[in-house]
Amino acid sequence: MLLANEQQHDPEKFGKTIMQTELTCLQWREAMEKAQLSGQGAEFQRAQAAYQEWQQKLQILLAVLAISSPE
């Protein structure tokens, strides 16, 4: 509910939050892929966990956007 209010109150800021979250997801995915290629198991697991967490945040933000969309 808080996110829906934020999206309605300041849609531009909410859009920037989505874009920043997408960028963070990409950075963690790259870190995960790099760790996997170099055989760093512990680093891979850490990056994978962070990537999954940010992916989940992104999905929530996009769901709020879809629900709040007038179309």
pLDDT recorded at residue 71:
63
d(CA 3, CA 59): 12
Model confidence, pTM:
0.85
pLDDT tens, per residue, the chain with 71 residues: 788 888 889 999 999 999 999 999 999 999 999 999 999 999 999 999 999 999 999 999 999 989 877 66
Q: How far is CA 26 from the centre of its chain?
A: 8
Phi-psi region of 39 (alpha: psi -120 to 50; beta: other; left: phi over 0): left
